[in-house]
Structure 1
Amino acid sequence: MRTDLNLLRLLLAIYEHGNVTLAAKQLGISQPAASASLARLRQSLDDPLFIRSGANMEATPRAQAIIDRTREVMEIIDTEILSSPTFDPSTSDHEFTLCLSAVGEVVFLPALFERVRREAPHTRIKTISLAPDQLAGALREGTVDAALGYFPDLTGPNIYQQRLFSHDLVCMVRAGHPIKGERLSLEAFCEADHLQVRDGSRSQEMFETYLSEQHVQRKIALQISHYMSVPSIIQSSDLVVVLPRTVARLYANEAKVRTLEAPLELPTYDLKQYWHGRLHHSPVNVWLRHLVADVFTSA
């Protein structure tokens, strides 16, 4: 047996008002439409449900037996199923999962965590690092809320992206390095011994491709797989390293190193936030994306 939910709303309204006309007014329908709906409900439940007693309609035992359960079911439908989802950052304990590279954590995480902590103090942030093919699936499945950084391979009809700001690369040497000035000459760049970081990031891959296209060769004296040891290596050697400007500035504040502009006009690259279409209208995801954009978007 199938029953129109609106018939159950009418049942509750008549029970509350004891009057078909007042019930119709509450529901925004005409009195004849309410009477017709009541007739359908009576037929469906095989019971008169309400008996006229003077000016009022009194519930039958059958109506009284189902009224509390009907009210409970309709409340669940209205508040949990049909209501628009909301997100209150001040009370939520949601855990945000973000995909960031090691450099991305340096670029994004400090400012982002401070802002999230201020506006959503009970939430938590977890960062992970995934390969592009894994990342697309994680965004689709919702195990990752958003990816922040340089992911040029993260494309597809259901992947949304928003540019946040442009980034570039810079050279870094120890504070007392023999190379002087604020920019390396191409000759000095090629003659110097280099520290190469191969952390799997697309920005470094883009840089290596650019050097190859310009037919520029470096002398790689040391190759490492992450940026953590870069400051200690650079400040105790004459090596030159090329790294994201934001990371270089951070190291320059903490170690005895300084930055130099590269001899070539290195290409800039856009850092973006990415999310999947499944979460495009999710209040939690919408709030996160707006916050990220507010913190990092540049003109």
Structure 2
Amino acid sequence: MRTDLNLLRVLLAIYETGNVTAAARDLGISQPAASAALARLRHSLGDPLFIRSGAGMEATPRAQGIIDRTREVIEIIDRDILSSPIFDPATTEHEFVFCLSEIGEVVFLPGLFERLRQVAPKARIRTISLAPEALTEGLHDGKVDAVLGYFPDLTAPNIYQQRLFSHDLACMLRRGHPLAGTRLLLEDFGRLEHLQVRDGSRRQEMFEAYLTRAGINRNIVLQTSHYMSVPSIIEQSDLIVVLPRTVANLYSNIVNVQIIEPPVEIPRYDLKQFWHARFHQAPRSIWLRQLIADLFAH
């Protein structure tokens, strides 16, 4: 026998109120609808379930025998199945996993770590770097909570994104470089020897794509996948590097390098947070996305 869960709610409401009209009012349905539900239950269970007694209705032994289990079943369904899950950052011990580029760690991680430690002190934090083809899979599987930064390859239709802010690029030379000044000429930019940083989490840097479209060539003599060695290399050579201005500002304050403006107006690029549609309504994901937006969306 298959019974509509709503019929059991009617059974419980009549038992607790002793009255079909009162039960209907508590359930937010009409009195005829409650009476029809009781009739269906009586037919299904082969028992009158309630009989009139004075001004109310008295449960039969059959109803008495199933009411406790009925109440238990409804409470379990309402609490564990139908209720909205709750995420409590103050008590969570979840390990938040973020996919960040090396620059992303410089830009996002200090503030993100500080804020998470304040509001989710028991949580753990881990950052990883993934190849473009693994980013979508990591988000889909829940192995990555969020991807932060410039990730132009994340274009799958089930990937959500939110713009946080925009970066611009600058050139960096050693202090005392023969071409040190405020802005490079295009011919000097093409003649200089370049250090190129290629982030493995992207197939092509935005700047590389821009130069290709503009037909601008440069003489790349050294390529690296990390920014850590960049300041010491630039400081000790006549190489030039193009990098995000935020990072260039950081390096110019700690080593003997200086910032110089590029010879052309390079378009700014957006830094975003990305998440998978599977977790769009998940309370933990909603909470985390709002925290990230509050920190960086300006």
Q: Same fold (TM over 0.5)?
A: yes
Maintained 8 Å contact 2:49/2:63:
yes
User: Counterpart of 2:170 in 1: which secondary structure?
Assistant: strand
Structure 1 residue ranges without an equivalent (≥5): none
> Which residue is equivalent to 2:283?
283
Query: How far 1:187 moved relative to its partner?
Result: 4.1
Which piece of structure 1 moves more, 84-93 or 268-277?
Answer: 84-93
The verdict on how the C-alpha distance between 1:204 and 1:252 changes in structure 2, with shifts beyond 3 A counting, is farther
Query: % of aligned pairs identical?
Result: 70
Alpha-carbon deviations, 1:136-163, whole Å to 9, x = none? 2333333333322222222233222222
CA distance in 2, matches of 1:117, 1:208: 37
> Which residue is equivalent to 1:23?
23
Matching residue's letter, 1:26:
D
> Which residue is equivalent to 1:98?
98
CA distance in 2, matches of 1:171, 1:178: 14
Consecutive aligned runs of 4 or more in structure 1 exceeding 6 Å deviation = none
Q: TM-score, normalised to structure 2's length? A: 0.86
Maintained 8 Å contact 1:194/1:239:
yes
Alpha-carbon deviations, 1:19-53, whole Å to 9, x = none? 33332332233444333322221221222323444
> Which residue is equivalent to 1:80?
80
> Which residue is equivalent to 1:248?
248
Maintained 8 Å contact 1:49/1:60:
yes
CA distance in 1, matches of 2:135, 2:62: 56
Alpha-carbon deviations, 1:162-192, whole Å to 9, x = none? 2222212212223344443232333443443
Alpha-carbon deviations, 1:196-240, whole Å to 9, x = none? 223335496332343344444433343222111222222333332
The verdict on how the C-alpha distance between 1:66 and 1:189 changes in structure 2, with shifts beyond 3 A counting, is same
Maintained 8 Å contact 2:93/2:123:
yes
Structure 2 residue ranges without an equivalent (≥5): none
User: Counterpart of 2:166 in 1: which secondary structure?
Assistant: strand
> Which residue is equivalent to 2:36?
36
Alpha-carbon deviations, 1:261-284, whole Å to 9, x = none? 122222322222222223223332
Maintained 8 Å contact 2:98/2:145:
yes
CA distance in 1, matches of 2:147, 2:223: 27
Maintained 8 Å contact 1:150/1:203:
no
Query: How far 1:12 moved relative to its partner?
Result: 1.4
Q: TM-score, normalised to structure 1's length? A: 0.86
Report matched runs for 1:55-204 at 5 Å. Answer: 55-200=55-200, 202=202
Say what the alpha-carbon RMSD is for the aligned residues: 2.6
> Which residue is equivalent to 1:226?
226
> Which residue is equivalent to 2:7?
7
CA distance in 2, matches of 1:145, 1:243: 27
Which piece of structure 1 moves more, 182-191 or 11-20?
Answer: 182-191
Aligned length: 298
Query: How far 1:249 moved relative to its partner?
Result: 1.8
